[in-house]
Amino acid sequence: MNRLLAILRAFLCVCASAAAVDATAAPPTLGPCKPLAAAPGKTIELTLTGANLLNPRTLWTSFASRTEFVPSDAESAQKGETLLCRITVPRDEQVGVGALRLVTGEGVSNPILAMVDDLPSSAEAADNHSIAQAQLAAWPVAIDGQCEPIEEDYYRFHVEAGQRLSFEVVAQRLGSKLDPVVRLLTVDGKELRRADDSAGVGGDCRLSHLFDAAGDYLLALSDVRHFGGPEFRYRLRIGEFPLVGSVYPAGGHSGQVASFEVADDSAEKSLLHVSIPATRDGSQLTAVSVPAAHGAGSGWFQVEANSQAESLELEPNDAVETATVCQLPGALNGRLQQAGDRDHFRFHARKGQRLHCVGRSRELGSPCDLYMSLHQADGARIAVARQERQPVLDAEIPEEGDYTLLVEDLYRGGGDHVYRVDVSETYGGFALNAETTQYNAPQAGTAVVKVLAQRPAYGGPIELAVEGLGDGVKLEGQTFEGPETLLKITLPPEIPAGEVRYAKIVGKAKIGEETVAVSANQRGPLLASFPNTLSLPTILETAIAIGVGPAFPPFFDLALTNKEAYLPQVVGASTFDVPINRTNEAFKEPIAIAVEGLPAGVTAEIGPVEDGLKAMRVSLKGPVDLAEGAEFPLRIIATGKFQEQTRVVSVDDVKLRVVKPLVVTVALAGPIVAGGEQQAEIRLQRFGPEPLPVRVQFVDGPAGLAAPISITIPSDASVAVVPLRAAADAAAGTFATLVAAATTTVQGQEISVRSQPVSVEIQALPAAQGAP
């Protein structure tokens, strides 16, 4: 019984070790970080949570940062469930929401969202679910917590008379499932204010309150549906920072200084001059901090940076006759100031011009619900926007002339109902996205990306290209006509393991006389992970992340021991086998063999030996009159694919020799003791369709060595074993002089050949033994 228990323990340990190896070999998966924000101008400790967090290489962030990984003896860290980092963010980094990905030696993680926040972080207490146990909030502060089912989280704070405080819950903007509601209370529980689904922040909420009387107050926070749990996390910001209500315009030209009219929640307006970051191509969302008057934290807003022309609406433009003249492609900026407001933008377009118009409002903090339509000069409507979370209008211009883009609010209007419309010439009648947002591939290996195409107005071939991976990238499956393709991206070997690359997928299509390029957009897959988030860092939408893991383990090799191939005269045909060692038992796929370096006129046909799992056969054909003894260096290349990974094995030092249509070789089983015997193996390689018997005799060898006068090897045999005997007085030593001659008939011609000289070692008879 004890022995059985010991065996069982050993088995369980082996299984646990194997599971641990498998766990560490997988790419990382990230959950929420703690705290939920990094701090500009500071170094903080940040704990990542998730799985497979061992062997970290870098922490990628969508904002500028530097990270140092801190070793930990904690059990969760040893299991790869937590990872402690020190993250430093530059002082001038703007407050806002960014993204993080962990890169380990095994690949790249999913993205998570976190803030850059200049408020100091604090953690929620575990027992703050009643007024009596309200947690003290010494503002300015940002408290990271999570709501529990049914419960409210209570926070107590103190103000002086005449102070105005802002309260902001950042939850859905960080990917949380929480639908927050906050109540401002007196210390005895009387409700003063309530906020839920505040304008400009989606399902999150915020409020600003001017306190008439000094004293302690309470803030109660909960999920409006009374849900809760680890996925219902939040960051509660409390301080004197402004709550930005609206910003006009909603964007500016990248690389330039733009002026924005900023209104806070009390409708006070100010003019803010901002240096817009430079963008290489396309548009990009950028955050802008609005510091509190006394430096106690910041509010923030987002605008779009674009390298195209900028156009601002000029009122009145409610009618076609007074439409604002704009330049396309470019960005249109406007504000629908009251219900029924209609903004018209006029432009000139050529026949066949293909316009792609994307409306932006809610991701820029505006409550506006856009409706867009395109009209000819006579008022005839030729296109209307698809009413999605982000309205899109696509149109092909039927005739050259003036056209008007009409922009309206579906429901209402107001001073904070600003919008922005990006107009480009990238309408191809199709849209693209990868199935997910991150992929992992072995070093120099292949990532398989399912690319989906929505084809409302184009059913022809699309050719995909990938940008951002450098030179040497190889693609398969890049041209397709259906709704999807498996794009196989083989990485250049120069990209080392433990790195991440962002790849932009671009689809090109020939439509009429024009080639249209459409970039894949990952907004759809991202919304599956962050369904309630208003906006995401632009790089997550415009590129997929490809993590580079270790090289894929070898799954086969060539076991070619005889590196000599023959092309016989007279016959002009021969075969040789290429043995295959399948080092991974699961690898059953066929292997392709190629032979390089064949002389002119010589061809090779390759086929399997039996099922091809253990060997492939190379059949050579060529001229029958090549010069005997000519040698040609060959290279044998084997290519196999397993789990979408390609392995190429080459053997470079193979020689092709032109020989007579018979080859004879001799091999001894070992040394010969003087006065003793040793076996010699004679091996034949015949060429030709009808083998005949071969007569073999030894024609040279060391003195004192005796062998049969001759032997005949029948037509159905290729090996014979003969005894060799050394005389008792044979001289000891090694003699490379043993040669066999073989004679046969091939296609009516007598063929005589000799073997290569073979070394024979004769050992002296031990003195004590004497002659037999």
pLDDT tens digits, one per residue of 271-280: 999 999 888 7
pLDDT of 19 reads: 36
In terms of Cβ atoms closer than 10 Å to its own Cβ (0-12, 13-18, 19+), residue 307 is middle
pLDDT band (50, 70, 90) for residue 18: very low
Query: Looking up tokens 């903090």, which residue turns up?
Result: 365
CATH architecture assigned to 431-549 = Sandwich (2.60)
Please list, in sequence order, all residues whose beta carbon lies within 8 angstroms of the beta carbon of residue 490, skipping any fewer than 6 positions away. 444, 445, 446, 473, 474, 475, 476, 646
Which residues face 235 on adjacent strands?
144, 170
Is there a contact between 542 and 521 (Cβ–Cβ < 8 Å)? yes
Q: What is 309-424's CATH number?
A: 2.60.120.380
Mean pLDDT of 229-249: 96
pLDDT of 448 reads: 97
User: Do the domains 557-659 and 662-763 sit in the same CATH topology, yes or no?
Assistant: yes
The sign of the dihedral angle between the CA atoms of 322, 325, 329, 334 is negative
The model carries a pTM of 0.85
Is there a contact between 442 and 645 (Cβ–Cβ < 8 Å)? yes
Which residues face 89 on adjacent strands?
40
Which CATH fold topology does 662-763 show?
Answer: Immunoglobulin-like (2.60.40)
pLDDT of 8 reads: 40
pLDDT of 768 reads: 56
In terms of Cβ atoms closer than 10 Å to its own Cβ (0-12, 13-18, 19+), residue 208 is buried
pLDDT of 14 reads: 35
Which CATH fold topology does 126-239 show?
Answer: Jelly Rolls (2.60.120)
Amino acid residing at 363? E
pLDDT tens digits, one per residue of 339-377: 999 999 999 999 999 999 999 999 999 999 999 999 999
Chain Cα centroid distance, residue 174: 23
pLDDT of 769 reads: 54
pLDDT tens digits, one per residue of 282-294: 789 999 999 998 7
pLDDT of 3 reads: 43
pLDDT band (50, 70, 90) for residue 5: very low
pLDDT of 767 reads: 67
pLDDT of 199 reads: 87
Which residues face 657 on adjacent strands?
566, 631
Mean pLDDT of 160-175: 97
Residue 35: cis peptide before it, omega within 30 degrees of 0: yes
Give the pair of three-digit tokens for residue 463: 């050719």
Give the pair of three-digit tokens for residue 43: 């170094």
CA separation for the pair 73, 648 (Å, rounded): 42
Q: Taking the domains of the chain in order of start, what are their residue ranges?
A: 27-116, 126-239, 244-306, 309-424, 431-549, 557-659, 662-763
pLDDT tens digits, one per residue of 117-141: 999 999 999 999 999 999 999 999 9
CA atoms within 13 A on the CB side of 381: 8
Q: What is 27-116's CATH number?
A: 2.60.40.10
Q: Which CATH number fits domain 557-659: 2.102.10.10, 3.40.50.720, 2.60.40.60, 3.40.710.10?
A: 2.60.40.60
In the chain, DSSP finds a helix count (H) and a strand count (E) of 4, 63
Report DSSP state, residue 379: S
pLDDT of 296 reads: 79
Examine the pLDDT at 636 and tell me if it is beyond 70. yes
Residue among 517, 514, 520, 518 at smallest CA distance from 353: 514
pLDDT tens digits, one per residue of 460-496: 999 999 999 999 999 999 999 999 999 999 999 999 9
